[in-house]
Structure 1
Amino acid sequence: MTNKRVFIWDLPTRIFHWALVLCVIGAVISGQIGGNLMEWHGKLGLAVVGLIAFRLVWGLLGSTYARFCQFFPTQGKVLAYLKGQWQGHGHNPLGAFSVFGLLALLAFQVGSGLFANDDIAFNGPMQALVGKDLSDVLTGWHKLASNVLIALVVLHIGAIMFYAHVKKDNLVKPMITGWKDNAEGESARGGGVLALVLAIAVAAAAVYGASGAWVPAPPPPPPAAETPNW
């Protein structure tokens, strides 16, 4: 008997997924520890900026199951899924809510982090553009949202374990190999070289913009008054 399988996740989507996992874990740990690791916290945040920008473009131009239009959770899809009538590959309608929710929350996290500060030695790359008072407000939101992010990640992992042990559906393996075993349907198509180059270019531009390299340097402090020599 032939083992049928369907190609679901293209290589760029898989690289994005696992790179995002590593960056988020590193950012959470470095942010919790603080100190000298805040420099790495900032670098990982910029990496997440690039990854989100890449995913937004790839969600429009990528292969079949990576496109947002393919798994956007419409009312009809959600109702069909709840009734056990949904048939498809990739993100199911409830999983789509998790994907969009995590992307939105991560975008807020890195966006607020660009203007945040730790009141010691670390300032976000664009903190100087908003001033200390607003930076403090954004820092508070950034810290609060990090707890929400951790909760969503735990919920996401719990859902994966539920599917693996209860529904006997391994969601992790296809995100590693790209293939879903014992399945029928149309394999992913599209997402060619030009789309990949454009997505990478947009990601690089986003990282440059978020890095604050274009922000004018603050003026030097005025020279100290000369002390009379008497």
Structure 2
Amino acid sequence: MTEGPAQTRIRLWDLPVRLCHWSFVGLIPALWWTAENDEMTWHMRLGLALAALLTFRVLWGFVGSSTARFTNFVRGPVAVVRHLASLGKPGHDVTVGHNAAGGWSVLALLGAMALQVALGLISGDPDYGAAGPLYDLAGFELAYEATDWHTEVGFNLILAVIGLHLAAIIFYRTVKRDNLVAPMVTGSRSALAGTKGMAPVAAWRALICAGIGIGFAIWLGMGAPPLTS
């Protein structure tokens, strides 16, 4: 019996990336539920929490571990086409981080959530007891348009991107025999011996990014007051 290539375990995702990922998984349905049940106080609180997480993830995409950085997984159209063409071939190659198509999926999801948060900040109507913290800066007409986009277009856009994301996960699991979910839980996966895993960075970077994200969300919740008197 011929043995297969030697395998080893490599680190793939750091803890901040995994916490962000699963926090997004929990926040999106929670935001939908609070909106559907007119729990607008909690809806706005969760929206600000999402704003803090998005800010953290964007910052972490520049100063975080190697697989978290945008420069590691955002590729041009040629790389995306090559990756998509390789999907029809048997077997799979372990990508240390997001593949070329997955990288753009990450950007699309972050962008859709950021757009939804931005719309929510200026949405609503104070006469009905619910208005985003930046409503006064936007004015009635812009807030009216933003409310329509926030309740219809923005959320449906997020659902569409999530649907593509889930479809890719199912495809990889059933066709390519590659479990993409488990590494996002454990932070590691099997790879060919000699494969270089994630390059970590100091924990203080995550603490600074988290502080900036939380501070930014608090500032938004206060109505974005001027930082100087």
TM-score, normalised relative to structure 1: 0.86
- Residue 5 of structure 1 deviates from its aligned partner by 1.8
8 Å CA contact 1:113–1:124 kept in 2: the answer is yes
Measure the CA separation in 1 of the matches of 2:143 and 2:220. 16
The structure with the largest alpha-carbon Rg is: 1
Measure the CA separation in 1 of the matches of 2:71 and 2:134. 33
3-state SS of paired residue (2:189): strand
| 1:212 match | 222
| 1:116 match | 123
Deviations 1:162-196 (A, max 9, x none): 11111111000000000012444111113212311
Deviations 1:45-75 (A, max 9, x none): 1011000100011101111111100000223
3-state SS of paired residue (1:153): helix
In the TM superposition, 1:35-184 aligns within 5 A as 35=38, 37-84=39-86, 88-117=95-124, 120-143=128-151, 144-184=153-193
3-state SS of paired residue (1:4): strand
| 1:222 match | none
Measure the CA separation in 1 of the matches of 2:68 and 2:50. 18
**Count, aligned residues:** 214
1:27 aligns with 2:31: yes
Partner residue of 2:205 out of 188, 195, 198: 195
RMSD (CA atoms): 2.0
8 Å CA contact 1:58–1:191 kept in 2: the answer is no
TM-score, normalised relative to structure 2: 0.86
Measure the CA separation in 1 of the matches of 2:15 and 2:94. 24
3-state SS of paired residue (1:114): helix
Measure the CA separation in 2 of the matches of 1:115 and 1:43. 14
Measure the CA separation in 1 of the matches of 2:64 and 2:213. 14
Measure the CA separation in 1 of the matches of 2:224 and 2:84. 49
- Residue 92 of structure 1 deviates from its aligned partner by 0.9
What are structure 1's unaligned runs of at least 5 residues?
A: 217-230
Measure the CA separation in 2 of the matches of 1:73 and 1:171. 20
Runs of 4+ in 1 over 3 A off after TM superposition: 213-216
Distance 1:129 1:213, change over 3 A: closer
8 Å CA contact 1:6–1:183 kept in 2: the answer is no
Point out the more displaced range, 167-176 or 181-190. 181-190
Measure the CA separation in 2 of the matches of 1:7 and 1:202. 27
Percent of residue pairs identical: 33
